[in-house]
Chain A
Amino acid sequence: MPELIDIHVHHITRVEGHGNITIRATDGKVEQVEWQVPEAPRFFEAMVRGRRWEDIQTIVSRICGICSVAHSLAAVKAIEDAMDLVVSSQTEQLRMLALYGEFIESHVLHIGYLAAPDLLGVKSVLPLIASQPELVKVIMRLHRLGNSMMEVLAGRRTHPVCFCPGGFSHLPKPADLHTLRAQLTAALPDLQVLADAVYGVKEMLPDFERDTEYVALVDRGTYTFYHGNIGSSDTTNTVAVQKFKQVANEYVVPQSTAKWAKWHRESYMVGALARFHLNAEHLYPVSAELARYFGLTRTCFNPYMNTVVQLVETAHAVEHSLELIDVLLTSGITPERPHVIAKAGWGAGAVEAPRGILFHSYAFDDNGICTGANMTIPTNQNHANMQQDLEKLVPSIISKPEAEVRQLAEMLIRAYDPCISCSTHYLNVEFV
């Protein structure tokens, strides 16, 4: 009797949205390995066509519940590019602070609620409340900090309302920044507690490597999330954000309703590992020390380590936020009102979202009406890389018990922190 392994992970858990993994093997010979995304397309690009330039941010902020600052900022940067708007350094500092809030919230969510159960051998975060109550409290405090930063900087816990092309519609008060400063300072010891907890189970992260191309924003002298051009581990040349389509080269495959992407190779990876590879020397002191603590080097090609790099980036976000707040409090918040004269044009904007580089572009007519839009999201850029990783991983583990093969494959996908649907929420219930 041939030994058959037939794994169908329908709707992998602890990721956002719907993705499936299919693995078939007979007598140790792998016959099929597929990462599939079956979700219906959302048509957000079509929804903004015909809308005025000042309405775009409000609409795209609703695409995702955890990347809403990133979507909003990519949009306002693209609109500013299209209309030749220049923003103040104060605006950029405040936007970066809001983006850091989103990174802290999203990374802590992934590390604490989604990845930690894998490392601690439980099915969800719920059992941890009884077994590790102090750790759960730390995770909740850090998660709440991210929410608080977005509330102060973006005007809401999510779906920002304060960002607009040219600047801000509402500015934070100095007292709010002082409060945030105290919360951020208190977060550093909490981060060490979280780091120690992850370090204690780091042997649960599989020892798997596959050389790949890393793609992220790069900017001179900074570990950038907001400024710069598109960089790659495969070339020393950088590409202007306006040429992002030459990087993503999106294409369709039969197994997925989501687009895939490739640049110099068959696939590339975006996200924390990619940013770390391209910008690690610019980490702030505490985050650099955390990277050393985990033995991370720029040549790490283990996708499971993406979660650890998210922890490092969370520390960087806290450290840089403290510096930005000090600058803002020292210089004082200057009242500014954006003044925009709409005009025809095309522009592109990019920011790093928690799960990787995000591109938006828009075209406008003379009246500032949107005539075309493109949103190239990070998870779509990672799909091909996830497939390539699975194709290398599965033959190397196929002799293990089926449940373990399944677990390692699921952990691999979760390590990318994919955000697939970015939209639906509704309850589906029956009365009891």
Chain B
Amino acid sequence: MTVRPIVLIGLGNSLLGDEGIGVSLVQALSAEFAHHSDVECIDLGIAGMALLHILDGRRKVVLLDCALMGEQPGACRRFTPKDVRDISTSSRCSLHDGNLLDLLALAGEIGGLPPEVVIFGIQPESINASLTLSPTLQHKFDEYMTKVRNEVRRTMVSTAAANDDLSCEGSDNPMNRNDVTAQPC
């Protein structure tokens, strides 16, 4: 089976309220991209280690995850692994549920990391036991969808342009920019 160049992965536990925002988003977007041959949407839940077998051969991975970032609840930030450092006090070497940054580092070591890695982190309001998102994240859900959709679409545009040998380097068109780091979204 051909590996699709762009993979959109939702992470988190949907039994713990906002912890499952990544899963909720990828589930909502999967129908939208179902017929795009360039994009695969995967609800990976809390199976972090499986990530290692998904990344190889891709051009870009977009990861959607709940993230404690010191922001206001509901804040969404787009960043790359190089933009952040892990400050969790939990078992950093645990690879069962897979610390995402450790897993990406491991994937990098074994040569399976796509050239482009983008993470959308969303600051939770509540990660208590609940099957639903907090009101704050529900209210902003469409906004998150738009941000992620645009991220994927502009990559698809640049992929198509590259495939057609229509280089857009130097273009001012923001849809072709993939170098944005750590910007609030």
Contact = CB atoms under 8 A, between A and B. Distances in A.
A325 to B, nearest CB: 20
Given A44-B129, A157-B47, A15 B96 contact: yes
Nearest to B109: A129
A125 B69 contact: no
Nearest to B181: A431
Nearest to A61: B45
A10 B92 CA distance: 12
Contacts of A59: 15, 131
Contact of A62 (B45, B87, B88): B45
Nearest to B88: A428
A431 B91 CA distance: 20
A126 B52 CA distance: 13
Contact of B45 (A105, A129, A147, A158): A158
A159 B67 contact: no
Nearest to B15: A62
Nearest to B92: A13
A392 interface: no
Interface in A113-145: 113-114, 123-126, 129, 136, 140, 143-144
Interface stretch (B97-105, B149-157, B158-166): B97-105
A340 to B, nearest CB: 23
B15 A44 contact: yes
Interface in B39-85: 42-50, 52-53, 65-70, 79, 83-85
A140 B103 CA distance: 13
Nearest to A18: B90
Interface stretch (A22-30, A64-72, A189-197): A64-72
B6 interface: no
Contacts of A430: 69-70, 84-85, 87
A398 to B, nearest CB: 25
Given A44-B15, A65-B48, A429-B87, A124 B93 contact: yes
Interface in B99-118: 100-101, 105-106, 109-110
A302 to B, nearest CB: 23
A257 interface: no
Interface residues on A, range: 35 or more
Contact of A429 (B69, B89, B96, B110): B69
A16 interface: yes
Contacts of A423: 13, 15-16, 19, 46, 97
Interface residues on B, range: 35 or more
B12 A425 contact: yes
Given A136-B110, A431-B83, A123 B45 contact: no
Contacts of A425: 11-13, 19, 46, 48, 65-66, 97-98, 100
B94 interface: yes
A403 interface: no
B97 A65 contact: yes
Nearest to A64: B46
B169 interface: no
A340 B88 CA distance: 46
Interface string A152-171: 00001111000000000000
B96 A419 contact: yes
A63 interface: yes
B77 to A, nearest CB: 8
A404 to B, nearest CB: 19
Contacts of B96: 15-17, 65-66, 109, 114, 419
B94 A15 contact: yes
B127 A426 contact: yes
B86 interface: yes
Which of B86, B91, B106, B119 has the largest count of A CB atoms less than 10 A from its CB? B91
Interface in A251-293: none
Contacts of B49: 65-66, 105, 109, 113, 143
A431 B182 contact: yes
Contact of B68 (A43, A126, A429): A429
Which of B67, B101, B110 has the largest count of A CB atoms less than 10 A from its CB? B110
Contacts of A63: 15
A68 B47 contact: yes
Interface of A: 10-18, 42-44, 46-47, 59, 62-66, 68, 105, 109, 113-114, 123-126, 129, 136, 140, 143-144, 147, 156-159, 419, 421, 423-432
Given A62-B15, A65-B96, A431-B83, 11 more contacts: A15-B91, A65-B46, A68-B45, A109-B95, A113-B95, A140-B53, A158-B46, A423-B13, A427-B65, A428-B67, A429-B86
19 contacts: A13-B91, A13-B94, A64-B46, A114-B95, A140-B52, A147-B50, A157-B50, A159-B43, A423-B46, A425-B11, A425-B13, A426-B12, A426-B67, A427-B69, A428-B68, A428-B89, A428-B90, A429-B87, A430-B69
